[in-house]
Amino acid sequence: MLLKFLQSLNKLSLIVLIPPGIVIFSKEEQPSNTYAPMLVQVSGIVMFCKLEQTVKAKS
């Protein structure tokens, strides 16, 4: 279900969903069919692995 939800939002380059879970990903990093294996869950936070450089670039 989550993957389908992410794919439904793939027109946006960056999505941030606030609790109960935090999902952060950038479409620019990977095509939609690789979102699922690239997601890593740490302490209740789900983060897209390669997002760090994108966050630094946008901030």
pLDDT tens for the chain, 59 residues: list them: 566 666 665 554 455 554 444 555 555 554 444 444 344 443 334 444 444 545 555 55
Q: Is 17 helix (H, G, I), strand (E, B) or coil?
A: strand
Write down the pLDDT at residue 9: 54
- pTM for the structure as a whole: 0.17
pLDDT of residue 8: 60
Domain spans, the chain: 2-58
CA 45/CA 43 separation, integer angstroms = 5
Q: Which pLDDT belongs to residue 49?
A: 42
